[in-house]
Amino acid sequence: MPPAMQDQPQRAPEAGAAFDAIIVGAGFAGMYMLHRLRGLGFTARVYEAGGGVGGTWYWNRYPGARCDVESMQYSFSFSEELDQQWDWSEKYAPQAEILSYANHVADRFDLRRHILFDTRVTAATFDEAAKCWRIETDRGDNVSAKFCIMAVGCLSAANHVPFEGRADFQGPIYHTGEWPHEGVDFTGLRVGVIGTGSSAIQSIPIIAQQASALTVFQRTATYTVPAWNEKLTPEYRNAIKADYPALRAKARARPTGFYFPFNMKPALEATPEQRTRQYEEAWQRGGLPFLGAYGDLLFEKAANDTIAEFARDKIRSIVKDPTTAELLCPHNVFGCKRLCVDTGYFETYNLPHVKLVDVSKTPIERFTAGGIEVNGTEYPLDAIVCATGFAAMTGSFDRIAITGRDGRTLAEKWRAGPRAYLGVATAGFPNLFTITGPGSPSVLASMIQAIEQHVDWMADCMAHMRDIGAATIEPLQADEDDWVEHVNEVSKVSLRSTCNSWYVGANIPGRPRVFMPYIGGFPVYVQKCNEVMTNGFEGFVMEGGDIGNEMPRVRLTERWRVPLDIEVISPAAVAARRVPVV
Ligand code: FAD
Ligand code: NAP
């Protein structure tokens, strides 16, 4: 049972209350939205399915869970005091510490009194006559609000694969994204892990330390780069804190929304020896910045082949059994699926009690009472860990009945793939905002930065509507269509669109294949959002109010006026040069 369902505190349902905004979700997005709206004098109610704040970091408590964007950057940037006072203990903070941080933010900014936990929003319906959203929850709440803000998370709807015989298995089955709060002790157990994405890669080395036998079921081999995680010294933290705003500003100007040394030069112009040296240096620095070894790695297949081969050689040099090493070698585009960052992942396969089972050609047939069957062989297990990921980007939207104008549902509108203008709003659904929605950089950027930029923009938009007395805002269909096409066109420039990743919904059978995040780069996207605002919310239609005269007052969005520095926006610049930003 998911942890939040265990001990729901009793409370009376809220009936008939009206708010300026309902916010769905109390991860970093919902928390920051609440903070900003309250600061602007709006009334807001947050509903959160979990029993506490933190979203991802509330749910994903599997062993080894931690961020893979460096902690000093994977954090809110809106409060200089918060930045100065919070001390991250490690280069990549563990889940518990990030959750403490979320709780600290909730306390510090007094957020909890407007959040109702253990409450899942089940329906959101736009009332055209009253021009408001009517929201229902699984706790019987029935409230209304002018704005409905979806802060439901891009990676929050766990993918529970309907394996045949699932109910037959006699032991416990866990999903990494819904991990029991009390933790799991695998000591002496025979454990099976399904999946080799980021969650599996973080948890496998730790589970292997406890389990008597570990069997990993791998469908697609994964590229992963060592984290070289370490404790942060006070000197290091102080050096960053001495000019934190400068680091934050540099981060915003990067395509990924976080700062790391980036080499603009093309791999294909270097000699093989130079490339090997460069890759080795980048490998020794570790983490996601490994992809910044050259500027063309995600754009030119021949360049990508060079880094992919380097990574395969690393696997072969670490994993002692040649058959296992070859199975662990990915043959798709390097960085096409989300790159993983690990601590001791490949080394784990050198342990005598760890076995790798290839399920790429012969899929998992069924769960049995005592294990998992593949290709006629039963692997005996006491516990199964499904590290099978998420219905990414749109999964949490699918789980709410969202109805806009003319009774049209979002599920219907997004059946062939999500359609949203700038990823913040979708035509036919007035006053519905989607934080890090499909069509925005979201999961391709450091997500807290992406969240903050969206929230600031949305809050400014709502304040402007109040200034002019506007009742509703929604995208114009034509502008939305242009944006969706632009997102799609830019994605084709990148090799990232070429494999069966969750970016394109291909991790789950039956989902439409659409490249969902915007790959043109964070600064290019931010500039577009800023232009839309300063041009009076170009591409949107507002109803009611004195629309003609008053240009929007830029309040919170001001801090996102980052100069486009061509030197540091390389991949975005490449994409934007070939496919103009609409
Ligand atoms: P979430 O944190 O997912 O929060 C959404 C919340 O909405 C959840 O609490 C959920 O319960 C709630 N919710 C959803 N539907 C409903 C509903 N119908 N009713 C009520 N509540 C609802 N990103 C990075 O940039 N760097 C990283 O290092 C990184 N590491 C990650 C590690 C893991 C294990 C995972 C899964 C993701 C990671 N991410 C990382 C992405 C991460 O999701 C974001 O960084 C960020 O935490 C998202 O915040 P959010 O508030 O948008 O969404
Ligand atoms: P994921 O990357 O989608 O990985 C899921 C894994 O399960 C894949 O290996 C997938 O194989 C496998 N799988 C799914 N269905 C299967 C089936 N029916 N049979 C066999 N295997 C199956 O999910 P995730 O690891 O939870 O990560 C999701 C995202 O969350 C990451 O990409 C990242 O953005 C974020 N995250 C970050 C960190 C971090 O380091 N900070 C940690 C965890 C998660 P295929 O590849 O073949 O589909």
The DSSP string of 12-50 is PPPEEEEEEEEEE--SHHHHHHHHHHHHTT--EEEE-SS
Query: Which amino acid residue places its CA nearest to atom 14 of ligand 1?
Result: 152
Please give the Cα distance from 318 to 327 (Å, whole number): 13
Chain CA centroid to CA 301, Å: 26
Please give the Cα distance from 512 to 509 (Å, whole number): 9
Residue 259, both tokens:
């700062």
- pLDDT at residue number 6: 45
Return the DSSP state at 197: S
Q: Report the candidate in 337, 291, 288, 289 with the shortest Cα–Cα distance to residue 310.
A: 291
Query: Which amino acid residue places its CA nearest to atom 52 of ligand 1?
Result: 153
Please give the Cα distance from 78 to 245 (Å, whole number): 10
Strand-pair category, 173-175 with 383-386: parallel
pLDDT, one tens digit per residue, over 502-550 is 999 999 999 999 999 999 888 889 989 999 999 999 999 999 877 566 7
478: three-class secondary structure by DSSP: helix
pLDDT, one tens digit per residue, over 425-472 is 999 999 999 999 999 999 999 999 999 999 999 999 999 999 999 999
Low-confidence ranges of the chain (pLDDT < 50): 1-6, 568-569, 578-582
- 221 C-alpha to ligand 2 centroid (Å): 11
pLDDT, one tens digit per residue, over 357-381 is 999 999 999 999 999 999 999 999 9
- pLDDT at residue number 271: 98
What are the C-alpha distances in Å from 161 to residues 387, 398, 509? 10, 16, 10
- Which pTM was predicted? 0.96
3-state helix, strand, coil in the chain (%, to 5): 35, 20, 45
Cβ of residue 207 lying under 6 Å from some atom of ligand 1: no
Cβ of residue 200 lying under 6 Å from some atom of ligand 2: yes
Is 504:497 a contact under the CB 8 Å cutoff? yes
Residue-wise DSSP of 95-130:
HHHHHHHHHHHHHHTT-GGGEE-S--EEEEEEETTT
> Which residue among 218, 225, 507 is best mutated to probe the pocket of ligand 2, counting the most ligand atoms within 8 A of its Cβ?
507
Mutual angle of helices 95-108 and 28-39, in 10-degree steps: 10
User: Backbone phi, then psi, for 124, in 5-degree steps?
Assistant: -140, 120
Cβ of residue 396 lying under 6 Å from some atom of ligand 1: yes
Mutual angle of helices 522-534 and 447-468, in 10-degree steps: 0
